[in-house]
């Protein structure tokens, strides 16, 4: 098979009797798939214009969507095992999800949500136990890259729709695993540094969901161990930037990830490395008190570790007096935050007892 091909046994053939855009409106309600497989190649060919798509293209999008995602099935539903869905395989083999995601800006503003629903429905389509859309994506993850690239669109509407597609798809552990091992992940890091707040905040929501969705945690923990240097190197690049929002949110997320028992082994590795401690100590001196407070939440893990690496102990002892003086001056944003003050007191006590 080619990189996007799928086994023909997954979806049964349908009679092919009607032509391009030939299905009537009644086909939606009857959920007929007659002729759609024959139309799929022509549909994909029509997705390559240099300007906005014709109304006929959207007519076909709605026809496919009416079959795959009927109103009675509810939001997020995917078709289940009816005969005659060969057109799904045809669209997947032709790369329709990637092409539609890449060219989302060429669709009329009001049509883009429907197009995104079709993309997601094709990828999440199930035929009994078979999931040809996920097989397609695993064989050719470039559709994920196309969605991440949508964050770079000049049209914020395109960016936000691409983000919504990603978040819906990444709830599937198998898709999350593909994303973690694809170039799209590092591209998503770049989106965290977007000068547009709408884009950077939406990209961060996608990034956080990928790493913290309950069903993804075992996969994420394994990924951290396999790709530790790449992932945390990309995190540190964000920490070294001047992007306030993403630095703050990523430091908060780092604390959440390190405290999660699923990531125990990566936490032990992270707090054993002196360069990581130096980074966190630099962030303790950040002009933003919000970032300082989040950095303290990570710093306390280094301090509380009973089995500190020699290089980590050396840094803490060498800077002991300065750290004690500095930490005593830290105040939470909320003066009444007793939990923060208690934890700060414990950090100060632990450092003062180091010898």
pLDDT score at 36: 58
Q: How does pLDDT run across 37-94, given as a tens digit for each residue?
A: 547 778 888 887 777 788 888 988 998 888 887 654 444 444 444 444 788 988 999 9
pLDDT score at 54: 80
Assign residue 95 a region: left if phi > 0, alpha if psi is -120 to 50, beta otherwise? left
Share of the chain above pLDDT 70, in %: 84
**Which helix (H) or strand (E) segment is 148 a member of?**
helix 142-149
CA distances from residue 18 to 15, 34, 93 in whole angstroms, order as listed? 9, 7, 21
pLDDT score at 35: 53
Q: How does pLDDT run across 1-46, given as a tens digit for each residue?
A: 444 433 333 333 333 333 333 333 334 434 444 455 547 778 888 8
Q: How does pLDDT run across 319-341, given as a tens digit for each residue?
A: 999 999 999 998 887 766 788 88
Structure tokens belonging to residue 342: 């208690």
Stretch 218-242: mean pLDDT: 97
Structure tokens belonging to residue 248: 């703050």
pLDDT score at 67: 85
Number of alpha carbons in the 13 Å side-chain half-sphere of residue 291: 20
CB 274 within 8 A of CB 309: yes
280 has pLDDT over 60: yes
**Which helix (H) or strand (E) segment is 91 a member of?**
helix 86-93
**69-83, 117-131, 148-162: lowest mean pLDDT where?**
69-83
The position carrying tokens 């190649």 is: 41
């Amino acid at each position: 098979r080619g990189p996007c091909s799928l086994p023909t046994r997954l979806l049964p053939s349908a009679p092919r009797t009607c032509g391009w855009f030939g299905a009537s409106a009644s086909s939606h309600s009857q959920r007929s798939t007659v002729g759609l497989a024959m139309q799929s190649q022509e549909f994909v060919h029509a997705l390559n214009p240099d300007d906005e798509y014709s109304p006929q293209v959207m007519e076909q999008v709605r026809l496919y969507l009416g079959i795959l995602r009927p109103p009675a099935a509810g939001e997020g539903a995917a078709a289940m095992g009816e005969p005659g869905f060969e057109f799904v395989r045809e669209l997947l083999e032709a790369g329709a999800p990637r092409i539609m995601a890449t060219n989302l800006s060429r669709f009329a503003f009001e049509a883009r949500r429907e197009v995104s629903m079709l993309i997601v429905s094709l990828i999440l389509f199930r035929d009994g136990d078979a999931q040809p859309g996920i097989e397609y994506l695993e064989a050719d993850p470039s559709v994920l890259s196309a969605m991440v690239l949508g964050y770079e669109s000049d049209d914020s509407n395109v960016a936000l729709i691409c983000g919504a597609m990603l978040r819906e798809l990444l709830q599937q552990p198998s898709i999350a695993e593909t994303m973690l091992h694809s170039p799209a992940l590092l591209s998503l890091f770049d989106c965290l540094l977007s000068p547009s707040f709408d884009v950077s905040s939406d990209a961060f929501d996608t990034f956080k969901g990928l790493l913290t969705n309950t069903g993804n945690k075992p996969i994420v923990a394994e990924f951290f161990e396999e790709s530790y240097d790449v992932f945390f190197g990309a995190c540190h690049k964000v920490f070294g930037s001047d992007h306030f929002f993403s630095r703050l949110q990523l430091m908060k997320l780092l604390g959440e990830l390190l405290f999660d028992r699923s990531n125990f082994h990566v936490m032990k590795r992270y707090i054993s490395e002196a360069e990581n401690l130096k980074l966190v100590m630099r962030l303790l001196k950040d002009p933003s008190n919000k970032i300082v407070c989040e950095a303290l939440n990570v710093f306390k893990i280094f301090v509380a570790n009973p089995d500190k690496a020699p290089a980590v102990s050396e840094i803490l002892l060498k800077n002991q007096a300065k750290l004690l003086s500095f930490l005593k001056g830290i105040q939470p944003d909320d003066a009444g935050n007793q939990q923060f003050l208690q934890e700060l007191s414990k950090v100060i006590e632990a450092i003062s007892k180091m010898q």
